[in-house]
C-alpha cells in the first residue's frame, strides 16, 4: 500500500470539527485557559502529532514510505514524525524520552495504516493548532484551546479515499490528565504530486517587533 | 485549489475555521484595509515570512518605509510568486491590514505589480488568520 508523496490540506475540506465543549478535567480546563493567553509555547516548537496531522491549509506534508519506517515531513515543522513499522513496541514508560512528536509505531490493517503514539512532552501548541499569543477574540476566535499533556495517547487510522486522491486520518485522542472522555476527528489531505515541500526555517528572519508580537510573553515553558 | 467535484467523500463546502500559521495576527487590524502606493526598497524572501519593504511618500516631501508581511516562501511559491517577482525600485500598490499600534507595518492582503498583475499573501485572506 503506497501512501508516499506530497499532500496538502485545505480549510474547505469537510474535516470533522474539533470538540467545542470537551469534557475537561480540572487541569485540562485550566491549561486550556492558559493556552488562550500570551503565556503559551514557543511559536517555533514542533506542533505535536495531532496538530501536525490536523493540517493548516497553508503547508503540505511529504510522506516517505520505507520498508521498516514511514517518515512524514511537514513544511512548517522542523521535526518529522517517524512511524516505526518493524514490529517494535513502545519502550517501557520509564525508558521513554518525552518528545514533541512522541514515539509512534505502525502496522497495516488491510489498506489502512494504524499508528499508535505515546511519549509526547505536553509542551507543544494546542492539539487544534492554535499558536503562541493567539488569545480568544469575541465573535472571531472563540474555540477552546485543546491541550495535550504528557499522558497523551493518539491512535490513528490513515487510508486513501476518493479513488486514491485524498488521505483520510481518523485521529483518536485519549489524555486522562486533560479529558474525561476520548474524542476523535477526521482530517483530510489532498495528494498533490504537482507541488513540492519547501524549506521552512522558523527561526531565520523573525521580525516579531514588526509583527507587533509580545516579545516577552511567548517563551516555552 | 482545484477540487474534483466527482469525489463524493469530501464535500467542498466552506467550513469556517482559522488557518493555522506560525503566529497570531492579532496585532494587525484585520477590520481595516489601507492602500499604499510606493516603491520597493527591498524584498526579504525569507522564512518564516516574506517581507516587503516599501517606500511610501508621506505627503510632506519625505518618505516612510513600510514593512509589509506576507506568508512563508513556500506558500508564495505555490501561489504565483517567484523570488524575483519584485525588485528594488519597482512601483507597486499594496493593500494591507495596518498594525494596531500605528507603526508603519502591515499584513499583506494583495499587491499590484508593475505589470498590473495582482498577487496575494500566499494563503487565505488575513481575516481568516485570527487563530494563527
A43 or A114, which is more confident?
A114
Q: Give the whole-number percent of chain A exceeding pLDDT 70.
A: 89
Q: Give domain status of residue A140, yes or no.
A: no
pLDDT value at position A174?
98
A50 or A124, which is more confident?
A50
pLDDT value at position B58?
92
pLDDT value at position A219?
41
Q: What angle do CA A173, A176, A181 make, to 5 degrees?
A: 60
How many structural domains are present in chain A? Answer: 1
* Bridge-based pairing state of the strands A5-8 and A112-118: unpaired
Q: Give domain status of residue A216, yes or no.
A: no
Rounded to an integer, what is the distance from CA A91 to the centroid of its chain?
A: 21
CB-based contact B47 A201, cutoff 8 Å: yes
* Each residue's pLDDT tens digit, A97-125: 999 999 999 999 999 999 999 999 999 88
CB-based contact B48 A57, cutoff 8 Å: no
Q: Give domain status of residue A204, yes or no.
A: no
Which residue in B10, B49, B51 is closest to A14 by CB distance?
A: B10
* Each residue's pLDDT tens digit, A121-173: 999 889 998 876 677 766 667 789 999 999 999 999 999 999 999 999 999 99
Which helix (H) or strand (E) covers residue B74, if one does? helix B73-77
Contacts of A192 (CB under 8 A, 6+ apart): A5, A6, A7, A8, A60
* Each residue's pLDDT tens digit, B24-48: 667 888 889 999 999 999 999 999 9
CB-based contact B22 A197, cutoff 8 Å: no
Q: Give domain status of residue A49, yes or no.
A: yes
Per-residue pLDDT of chain B (132 residues; tens, 9 = 90+): 433 333 333 333 333 334 445 556 678 888 899 999 999 999 999 999 999 999 999 999 999 999 999 999 999 999 999 999 999 999 999 999 999 999 999 999 999 999 999 999 987 544 444 333
Residues of A in contact with B78 (CB under 8 A): 195
Residues of B in contact with A143 (CB under 8 A): 131
CB-based contact B22 A204, cutoff 8 Å: no
Grid cell listed for A16: 470533522
- Between A and B, how many residue pairs show a Cβ–Cβ distance under 8 A? 165
Q: Give domain status of residue A73, yes or no.
A: yes
Rounded to an integer, what is the distance from CA A29 to the centroid of its chain?
A: 20
Sign of CA dihedral A62, A13, A186, A178: positive
For the cut 80, the answer to whether the pLDDT of residue A20 exceeds it is yes
Residues of A in contact with B74 (CB under 8 A): 59-60, 75, 197-200
Confidence of residue A36 (pLDDT cuts 50, 70, 90): confident
Task: In whole angstroms, give the CA distance from residue B67 to residue B42.
Answer: 10
Grid cell listed for A180: 474525561
Grid cell listed for A68: 521498516
Query: Which of A19, A62, A212 best probes binding to B when mutated, by most B CB atoms within 10 angstroms?
Result: A212
Phi and psi angles of residue A36, each rounded to the nearest 5 degrees, phi first: -100, 25
Phi and psi angles of residue B129, each rounded to the nearest 5 degrees, phi first: -95, 15
SS3 A181: coil
* Bridge-based pairing state of the strands A153-161 and A166-174: antiparallel
Q: Give the whole-number percent of chain B exceeding pLDDT 90.
A: 67
SS3 A12: coil
Task: In whole angstroms, give the CA distance from residue A75 to residue A200.
Answer: 6
Q: What is the rounded average pLDDT for all residues in chain B? A: 81
User: Cα-atom radius of gyration of chain A, to the nearest Å?
Assistant: 17
The residue-averaged pLDDT of A86-90 equals 98
Query: Is residue A21 within 8 Å of residue B21, measured between CB atoms?
Result: no
* Residue ranges making up the domain that contains A61: 5-135+145-191
pLDDT value at position A32?
93
What CATH architecture is B34-131?
A: Beta Barrel (2.40)
Residues of B in contact with A170 (CB under 8 A): none
Q: Give domain status of residue A205, yes or no.
A: no
Q: How far is A30 from chain B (nearest CA, A)?
A: 19
Report the residue of chain B nearest A136, measured CA to CA.
B131
Task: In whole angstroms, give the CA distance from residue A2 to residue B125.
Answer: 34
Neighbours of B72 (CB within 10 A): 27
Task: In whole angstroms, give the CA distance from residue B31 to residue B17.
Answer: 17
What beta strand segments (E) does chain B contain? 34-44, 51-57, 63-69, 91-98, 105-112, 118-119
Report the residue of chain B nearest A199, measured CA to CA.
B74
Residues of B in contact with A10 (CB under 8 A): 1, 3
Confidence of residue A210 (pLDDT cuts 50, 70, 90): confident
Q: What is the pTM of this model?
A: 0.84
CB-based contact A59 B74, cutoff 8 Å: yes
Query: Which of A7, A53, A56 best probes binding to B when mutated, by most B CB atoms within 10 angstroms?
Result: A56
For the cut 90, the answer to whether the pLDDT of residue A18 exceeds it is yes
Tell me what ipTM this predicted complex has. 0.82
pLDDT value at position A215?
56
pLDDT value at position B125?
47
Query: Is residue A136 within 8 Å of residue A142, measured between CB atoms?
Result: yes
Task: In whole angstroms, give the CA distance from residue A210 to residue B69.
Answer: 9
Give the closest residue to B132 by CA, choosing from A99, A152, A76.
A76
Q: How far is A23 from chain B (nearest CA, A)?
A: 21
Residue A79 CB-density burial (10 A; 0-12 exposed, 13-18 middle, 19+ buried): middle
Amino acid at each position: 500500500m503506497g501512501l508516499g508523496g506530497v499532500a496538502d490540506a485545505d480549510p474547505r475540506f469537510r474535516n470533522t470539527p474539533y470538540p467545542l465543549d470537551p469534557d475537561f478535567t480540572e487541569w485540562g480546563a485550566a491549561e486550556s485557559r492558559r493556552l488562550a493567553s500570551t503565556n503559551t509555547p514557543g511559536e517555533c516548537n514542533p506542533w505535536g502529532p495531532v496538530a501536525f496531522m490536523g493540517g493548516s491549509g497553508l503547508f503540505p506534508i511529504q510522506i516517505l514510505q520505507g520498508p521498516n519506517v514511514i517518515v512524514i515531513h511537514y513544511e512548517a515543522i522542523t521535526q518529522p514524525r517517524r512511524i516505526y513499522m518493524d514490529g517494535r513496541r513502545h519502550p517501557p514508560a520509564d525508558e521513554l524520552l518525552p518528545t514533541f512528536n512522541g514515539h509512534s509505531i505502525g502496522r497495516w490493517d488491510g489498506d489502512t495504516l494504524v499508528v499508535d503514539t505515546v511519549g509526547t512532552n505536553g509542551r507543544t501548541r494546542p492539539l487544534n493548532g492554535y499558536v503562541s499569543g493567539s488569545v480568544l477574540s469575541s465573535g472571531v476566535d472563540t474555540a477552546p484551546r485543546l491541550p495535550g499533556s504528557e499522558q497523551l495517547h493518539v491512535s490513528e487510522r490513515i487510508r486513501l479515499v476518493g479513488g486514491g486522491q485524498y488521505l483520510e486520518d481518523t485521529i483518536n485522542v485519549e489524555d486522562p490528565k486533560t479529558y474525561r472522555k476520548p474524542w476523535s476527528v477526521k482530517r483530510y489531505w489532498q495528494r498533490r504530486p504537482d507541488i513540492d515541500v519547501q524549506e521552512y526555517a522558523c527561526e531565520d528572519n523573525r521580525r516579531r517587533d514588526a509583527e507587533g508580537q509580545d516579545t516577552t510573553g511567548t517563551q516555552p515553558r | 485549489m482545484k477540487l474534483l467535484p466527482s469525489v463524493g467523500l469530501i464535500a467542498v463546502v466552506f467550513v469556517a475555521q482559522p488557518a493555522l500559521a506560525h503566529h497570531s495576527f492579532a496585532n494587525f487590524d484585520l477590520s481595516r484595509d489601507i492602500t499604499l502606493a510606493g516603491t520597493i526598497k527591498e524584498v526579504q524572501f525569507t522564512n518564516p515570512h516574506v517581507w516587503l519593504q516599501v517606500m511610501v511618500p508621506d505627503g510632506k516631501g519625505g518618505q516612510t518605509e513600510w514593512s509589509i508581511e506576507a506568508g512563508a516562501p513556500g506558500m508564495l511559491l505555490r501561489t504565483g510568486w517567484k523570488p524575483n517577482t519584485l525588485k528594488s525600485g519597482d512601483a507597486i500598490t499594496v493593500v494591507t491590514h495596518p498594525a494596531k499600534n500605528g507603526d508603519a507595518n502591515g499584513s499583506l492582503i494583495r499587491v499590484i505589480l508593475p505589470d498590473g498583475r495582482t498577487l496575494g499573501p500566499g494563503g487565505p485572506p488575513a481575516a481568516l488568520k485570527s487563530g494563527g
